[in-house]
């Protein structure tokens, strides 16, 4: 049974679904009270269980291990605050580190096969590359945002504790993820805002973006169902040869490509963006060679299929 923190969140929900489809059983740890979604009703109480606990509470986390036979841990819950200033910074940093260390203690005590930690594409900020971003590229010591800053700390801790505890710990550097249940608005890329606007027949509000959106700009975006399946494959693989994996589509999707796919599915959608690229570094995709070789993963969703499914999902009455 795999314990998943944040298993009812955006990426967590789709990863849980993928793990169940692979025949796994899951216990989802949520800090706040949560009910089992209708989509999991068939497995609830048999292969799927939801437990309310705060991972910063070592006793509460340990008690879950007394009730279930945990064989793996996948840590997808958020760690550092967004927006900045939402919490007292020293106290929140202490809580985030305590939660992470408690998961390492649990992994050691339960003798789990693998502890998977969600990292981010943002750790590559400032890295100079001539092509796709590989996991073995040296990272800079700084980060422009608290999320990648903390994820770098987590990766360093993971490398240290993997060695001294003997717990196989793997960091998953996740690309730009979008799709049902996702963040809207997203501060890093405009795909959710553009799709929501098309589904609602409105113009997109891009005011939350940290950088200017232009048609020629793009990043490595991955549809959330592909992301969830990749994480499930990594978490259940019999043998992993590395301790860090990129989880992405392996290609750049420009905003212009996304707009073209939206207009094919929603003719007349008002999703115009200025031509050209926004000022800044050249965009690079994440190299997913390791992911492909060790799990057999290939993305199932191209841009057109992802847009069509997401728009239809929103038009069916879902808010995100």
Domain boundaries of the chain, sorted by first residue: 2-175+223-247, 177-220+250-284+301-315
- Percent of the chain having pLDDT more than 90? 84
| pLDDT confidence of residue 85 | 58
> How does 252-269 read in b/e, with b if 16+ C-beta sit within 10 Å?
bbbbbbbbebbbebbeeb
pLDDT higher than 50, residue 275: yes
Mean pLDDT for 82-90 is 64
pLDDT higher than 50, residue 81: no
Give DSSP secondary structure letters for 279-314. SSSPP-PBP-HHHHHHH-------HHHHHHHHHHHH
d(CA 267, CA 145) in angstroms, rounded, equals 37
pLDDT higher than 60, residue 317: yes
d(CA 53, CA 4) in angstroms, rounded, equals 12
Cα distances from 128 to residues 41, 124, 176, 219, 284, in angstroms, run 47, 9, 19, 16, 10
pLDDT higher than 60, residue 79: no
d(CA 263, CA 85) in angstroms, rounded, equals 38
Mean pLDDT for 213-218 is 94
| pLDDT confidence of residue 104 | 97
pTM: 0.95
Does residue 129 contact residue 284 with C-beta atoms inside 8 Å? yes
Name the average pLDDT for the chain: 93
Is the N-terminal amide bond of 83 cis, ω within 30° of 0? yes
Around Cβ 137, how many Cβ atoms within 10 Å? 14
Q: For the chain, percent helix, then strand, then coil, each to nearest 5? A: 40, 15, 45
Q: Tell which CATH architecture fits domain 2-175+223-247.
A: 3-Layer(aba) Sandwich (3.40)
Mean pLDDT for 29-53 is 91
Does residue 286 contact residue 250 with C-beta atoms inside 8 Å? yes
pLDDT higher than 90, residue 84: no
- Percent of the chain having pLDDT more than 70? 97
Q: Are strands 218-219 and 253-254 parallel, antiparallel or unpaired?
A: antiparallel
What class does CATH assign to 177-220+250-284+301-315? alpha beta
pLDDT digits (tens, 9 = 90+) for 100-158: 999 999 999 999 999 999 999 999 999 999 999 999 999 999 888 888 999 999 999 99
pLDDT band at residue 34, thresholds of 50, 70 and 90? confident
Q: Identical fold at 2-175+223-247 and 177-220+250-284+301-315?
A: no
pLDDT higher than 80, residue 264: yes
Mean pLDDT for 184-192 is 93
Tokens encoding 15: 């990863």
Does residue 110 contact residue 123 with C-beta atoms inside 8 Å? no
| pLDDT confidence of residue 229 | 98
pLDDT digits (tens, 9 = 90+) for 287-307: 999 999 999 999 999 999 999
Tell the burial category of 99 from Cβ atoms under 10 Å away from its Cβ (0-12, 13-18, 19+): buried
């Amino acid at each position: 049974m795999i314990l998943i923190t944040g298993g009812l969140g955006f990426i967590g929900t789709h990863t849980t679904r993928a793990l169940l489809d692979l025949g796994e059983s899951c216990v989802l740890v949520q800090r706040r009270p949560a009910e089992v979604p209708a989509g999991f009703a068939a497995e609830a109480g048999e292969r799927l269980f939801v437990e309310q606990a705060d991972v910063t509470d070592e006793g509460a986390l340990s008690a879950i291990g007394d009730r279930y036979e945990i064989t793996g841990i996948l840590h997808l819950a958020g760690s550092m605050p967004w927006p900045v200033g939402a919490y007292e910074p020293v106290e929140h940093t202490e809580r985030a580190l305590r939660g992470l260390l408690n998961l390492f203690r649990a992994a050691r005590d339960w003798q789990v096969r693998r502890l998977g930690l969600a990292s981010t594409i943002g750790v590559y900020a400032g890295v100079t590359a001539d092509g796709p971003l590989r996991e073995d590229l040296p990272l800079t010591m700084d980060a422009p945002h608290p999320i990648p800053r903390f994820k770098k700390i987590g990766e360093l801790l993971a490398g240290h504790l993997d060695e001294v505890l003997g717990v196989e710990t793997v960091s998953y550097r996740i690309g730009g993820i979008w799709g049902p249940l996702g963040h809207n608005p997203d501060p890093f890329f405009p795909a959710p805002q553009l799709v929501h606007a098309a589904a609602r027949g409105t113009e997109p509000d891009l005011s939350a973006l940290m950088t200017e959106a232009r048609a020629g700009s793009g990043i490595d975006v991955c549809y959330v169902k592909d992301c969830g399946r990749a994480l499930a494959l990594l978490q259940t693989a019999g043998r992993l040869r590395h301790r860090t994996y990129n989880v992405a589509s392996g290609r750049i999707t420009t905003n212009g490509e996304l707009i073209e796919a939206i207009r094919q599915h929603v003719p007349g959608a008002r999703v115009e963006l200025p031509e050209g690229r926004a000022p800044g570094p050249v965009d690079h995709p994440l190299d997913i060679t390791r992911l492909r070789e060790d799990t057999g993963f290939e993305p199932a969703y191209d841009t057109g299929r992802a847009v069509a499914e997401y728009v239809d999902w929103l038009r069916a009455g879902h808010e995100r």
